[in-house]
Amino acid sequence: MSQKQTLSFQAEVAQLLHLVTHSLYSNKEIFLRELISNASDACDKLRFEALDNNALYEDAPNLEVRVSFDKDSRTLTIADSGIGLSQQEAIDNLGTIAKSGTREFMGKLSGDQKQDAQLIGQFGVGFYSGFIVADKITVESRRAGAPASEGVQWTSGGAGDFEVEAIERAQRGTSVTLHLREDASDYLSTWKLKSIINKYSDHISLPILMRKEEWKEGEDDKGGEMVLADEWETVNQASALWTRPKKDVTPEQYQEFYKQISHDHEAPLAWAHNRVEGSTEYIQLLYIPAHAPMDMWNRDKAAGVKLYVKRVFIMDEAEALLPVYLRFVKGVIDSADLPLNVSRELLQESRDVKAIRDGSTKRVLSMLEDLAKAEKDEAASDEDKAKYGKFYAEFGAVLKEGLGEDFANSERIAKLLRFASTTSDTASVALADYKARMKEGQEAIYFITADTLAAARNSPQLEVFRKKGIEVLLMTDRVDEWALNHLSEFDGTPMQSVAKGAVQLDTLLDEGEKKAAEEAAEAFKPVLARLKEALKDKAEDVRVTTRLVDSPACLVVTDSGMSMQLARMLKQAGQKAPEVKPVLEVNPEHPLVKKLEGSVHFHDLAQILFDQALLAEGGLPEDPAAYVKRVNALLI
C-alpha cells in the first residue's frame, strides 16, 4: 500500500499530546534525552535480534545515533541505525500507547511543570515529548532486514491524527525529524545540543555523532562564522557507565544514570558499583531507590535489574538476579560468563546466575547495613542519618518477606528490621535495641500483631506487660504475621507473640503476686469448669491468667496455632483458613468475672465474656445480633 493514510491517535495519545504541548515547557530539553534513549533502545534491540540472525546488520554493522540540524529549515534530526519500524509498527507504536501506565501518568500530574516534565520519562511517553519543541514531527524508518521498498514515513502535527505513507528507504533504522517551534530556536546550535547530550546521555554506550564545526573566514572584511563541516565526531563518552572505573564516575553521573534506568526523578538513597572477579565474573551497579513505586506490593512485579552480557543488552527485569524481596533494587548486572543467547528459563538454572544472585544479595544487604549504621553515626550528616528511616518507611515491609524467603541471610535481615513498640510510636526499634532494654528476668522478645497500631496498643493482652514496664513490639504490617513465623529467635533470645500460648510470666512476678495468683486460681476452679462447659463450642480451653489487669478476659491461640489475625486475613482474602478455636483466658480478679459465681445469668455472661474478648482483639462475634441482645438484656 503506497498511498497516504490518515489515522487518528488513540484517545489517550491525543489527550497526552495536548498535555505535552500545553503544559510541559519548563524543562524542554528533556525531549532530546528521550529521543536518544529510544534510538539507543532500538540499537540494543537490533544487536539482540542479530544474535540469531546476523543478516539484520545488512552491510552496515555500525550502531550509532546521529544528531543533526538545519538552520534554514529549522529542523533537528535524531537518526539511528537500530532495528527500525515497519509500517504497522509505526502505526501501532507511535499512534497508540500500549502501556496501562499512561492513565496512571495522567493521574499523577501535579500541575507543577518541572515535576510533570520528569514524569514524562518515568511513564514511557518519551517519543511524544518531541512535541514540546516541535509543531510537526516526521519519522522515516525501515525495519532491519526488510527491503528498501518497505520504508515508512510517519508525520504528525501533534493534534488528533497522523499520516503514514510507504517510502523507499535505503538505510535501515529510524530518523526522527523535529520541525522546531518558533520559541525553540535554541536547539539549532551545536554547543547547546552537545551540552544537553553531555548532561543526560553521556553514559549511553553507543556513539552519538554530530557534525564538526569549523571556522569560516568572512569574505572581504566581513567577520567569519562557525559552519558545519562534512565530518562527524563522537560527542559522548560512548562507554557504558558501569564499565568505567569508579574513580572516573562522578556522583552526578551515577545519579543521572539511575534516573535513566529507573524512570525515577528522585535521586537514589545509595548505590554500589563493583567489578566482581573469581569463578564468575561480572559487574554490578545496584541502586536503592528513595521511594516505592505504586505496585511494590505485588510480588509478581517486574524486578528492577537489567542484564547485560559483555556490554550487550540482554533483558530488562531479569528477576533471576535478585531474590523477590529485593525487587525494589534497580541497576545493571553485566556478566562476562553467560552465553549471549541466554533465556529467562536458562537464567533460572544457571550456576553463574546463582553466584551473581548470592553476591548481589549480599551487596544490597551491606548497602542497607551501611545506611543503618549512618543513622547512629554522630559524624554523619543529617541527610545521611535520615536515609535508613526513609528506606524503611518505603520498603521495610518488603524487606521482611526476606525472613521467609532467604534463610541464609535471615540473621542479617532480622538486624535490619525496625518496629513500633509500646515505648515508641514510630517503626524505629531494632531488635538489638529491644534486647538491650530487656528487663531482668525477661526471657523473650515480646510482640503483638494487629490490624492497626491503636488496636495493638490497646490490646488487653498487653496489660501485665505495661504494669511490669516490659516493652512489647507492635506489628501492624500485613506481612508481619507470616514473616515472624520464620523468625523464632533473635541473637539467642526467643521471639514470643503475646497472643500465643500461655505467656511465661512467672519470672516476672514477685513472691506475693505469685501466691495471690495461685490462690485465686484455686478458688476459681469450680467456676472455671462451668465456663468450659458453657463455651465448649467456641473455646478450645478456658484458663486463668495473670496477664490481665483491667480487662476481664482475652483470647489467645495455642503455641502451634495460627493467630486469629492471620486467620481473619486469609478469610478476607478469600482463602481457606483453618478453623481457629482460641483459648479464653480470664482474670479472676476482675469484678465481672467475680460476678459469674452465683449469677442466674451465668450462661449469657459467659457468652458475653467470650464475645467481648473477641471484639477487643479486632474480631466479630459469630452472632452479633445475639451478642447485642444479651448485653441489652443486662443493661435493662
**Binding residues vs ligand ADP (CB under 6 A):** 38-39, 42, 80, 82-85, 93-94, 124-128, 174
Whole-angstrom Cα distance, residue 452 to residue 474? 9
Shortest separation between residue 75's beta carbon and ligand ADP, angstroms = 16
Other CB atoms closer than 10 Å to residue 513's CB: what's the count? 15
Decide whether 78 or 329 has the Cβ nearer to ligand ADP.
78
Decide whether 127 or 490 has the Cβ nearer to ligand ADP.
127
Grid cell for residue 554: 482475652
Nearest to 361 by CA among 433, 416, 419, 431: 416
Identify the H or E element spanning 429.
strand 424-430
What is the distance of C-alpha 408 from the center of its chain?
23
What angle do helix axes 602-616 and 624-635 make, rounded to 10 degrees? 120
Shortest separation between residue 287's beta carbon and ligand ADP, angstroms = 20
Decide whether 44 or 352 has the Cβ nearer to ligand ADP.
44
Decide whether 45 or 301 has the Cβ nearer to ligand ADP.
45
Decide whether 7 or 393 has the Cβ nearer to ligand ADP.
7
Decide whether 84 or 304 has the Cβ nearer to ligand ADP.
84
User: Under DSSP, is residue 274 helix (H, G, I), strand (E, B) or coil?
Assistant: strand
Whole-angstrom Cα distance, residue 176 to residue 138? 6
Radius of gyration (C-alpha) of the chain in whole angstroms: 33
Nearest to 276 by CA among 399, 371, 361, 372: 361
* 275-280-283 Cα angle (round to 5): 25
Shortest separation between residue 305's beta carbon and ligand ADP, angstroms = 18
Shortest separation between residue 221's beta carbon and ligand ADP, angstroms = 46
User: Under DSSP, is residue 409 helix (H, G, I), strand (E, B) or coil?
Assistant: helix
Decide whether 126 or 293 has the Cβ nearer to ligand ADP.
126
Whole-angstrom Cα distance, residue 634 to residue 636? 5
Using an 8 Å Cβ cutoff, are 188 and 76 in contact?
A: yes
For residues 295-328, one letter each, b for 16 or more C-beta atoms within 10 angstroms of the residue's C-beta and e for the rest, the string is ebeeeebebbbbbbbeeebbbeebbbbbbebbbb
Query: Residue 440 contacts by C-beta under 8 Å, 6 or more apart in sequence?
Result: none
Decide whether 125 or 399 has the Cβ nearer to ligand ADP.
125
Shortest separation between residue 314's beta carbon and ligand ADP, angstroms = 18
Decide whether 171 or 410 has the Cβ nearer to ligand ADP.
171
Decide whether 207 or 552 has the Cβ nearer to ligand ADP.
207
Whole-angstrom Cα distance, residue 138 to residue 174? 10
Decide whether 85 or 557 has the Cβ nearer to ligand ADP.
85
HSE-CB of 420 using CA atoms within 13 angstroms: 19
Whole-angstrom Cα distance, residue 46 to residue 26? 34
Using an 8 Å Cβ cutoff, are 563 and 496 in contact?
A: no
Look at the chain and count its residues.
Answer: 636
Shortest separation between residue 125's beta carbon and ligand ADP, angstroms = 6
